Amino acid sequence: MTELEKISREARACKICDACLPFGANPVFRAGEQSKILIVGQAPGIKVHNTGIPWNDKSGQELRSWMGVSKEDFYNTELFSILPIGFCYPGKSKSGDLPPRRECAPEWQNKFTSHLPNLKLILLVGQYAQRYYLKGKGYINLTHTVRNHLEYLPDFFPLPHPSPRNFIWMGKNPWFKTEVVPYLRERVHSLIYEKK
Ligand code: SF4
């Protein structure tokens, strides 16, 4: 068994915040040693929790369409690893899902990334991923951080969350779809398809 397989097995058995989760611990992630791109999102929604498949919802459809990748490639761990900031469904608040559990990222992110030797790019999808990985180097808000995405390359690419709840944000910030999405697609394709 590889180190990455050992870490994955430990993470699947994690119960650190089990008592605070409405349906108990059910970590949803995917990791492969050959992955070139890591997608760091927020936390599973209820559909992802129920199916155990990351990004198995409208947000996932939108993210795949931004990148211009098929479902088959998206779930190929030789291309993508998928590690949300919180691995388990955190439950609901009055205005949507609760934030990812704080305990999760410090426990697991570094353990995984230190065993993903082929990573060329980390997509930071949403404010929680950006806050954790950019460590104070983000701008005053997500809009400014995404607008200045070139500053974080080649290691990180900050993105808004592709949830339908953010379609209003997309409408207010048309530069995202006209400038950032085409560049994201080009970057992703150059990394995952260059030797295909
Ligand atoms: S959210 Fe993370 S730290 Fe909490 S139980 Fe799930 S895997 Fe463990």
Nearest CA owner, ligand 1 atom 6: 88
In terms of C-beta density within 10 A (0-12 exposed, 13-18 middle, 19 or more buried), how is residue 173 classed?
middle
Give me the residue label for tokens 């997509």: 123
Q: What is the pLDDT of residues 81-92, one digit of tens each?
A: 999 999 999 999
State residue 94's pLDDT score. 85
C-alpha 10 – ligand 1 centre gap (Å) = 11
Q: What is the pLDDT of residues 25-82, one digit of tens each?
A: 999 999 999 999 999 999 999 999 999 999 999 999 999 999 999 999 999 999 999 9
Q: What lines the ligand 1 site, CB under 6 Å?
A: 11, 14-18, 25, 27, 86-88, 101, 103-104, 107
The CATH homologous superfamily to which domain 3-192 belongs is: Uracil-DNA glycosylase-like domain (3.40.470.10)
Mutation to probe ligand 1, out of 48, 98, 107, 112 (largest number of atoms < 8 A from CB): 107
Map 48-77 to HEC letters. HHHHCCCCCCHHHHHHHHHHCCCHHHHCCC
Q: What is the pLDDT of residues 99-145, one digit of tens each?
A: 999 999 999 999 999 999 999 999 999 999 999 999 989 999 999 99
C-alpha 104 – ligand 1 centre gap (Å) = 5
State residue 195's pLDDT score. 63
Residue 179 tokens read as 């400038």
Q: What is the mean pLDDT of residues 149-175?
A: 95
pLDDT for residue 196 is more than 60 = no
Single-letter code of the amino acid located at 64? R
What value does the mean pLDDT of the chain take?
Answer: 96
pLDDT for residue 147 is more than 80 = yes
Going by pLDDT thresholds of 50, 70 and 90, the confidence category of residue 194 is confident
In the three-class reduction of DSSP (H, G, I as helix; E, B as strand; rest coil), residue 30 is classed as strand
Instruction: Say what the pTM is.
Output: 0.96
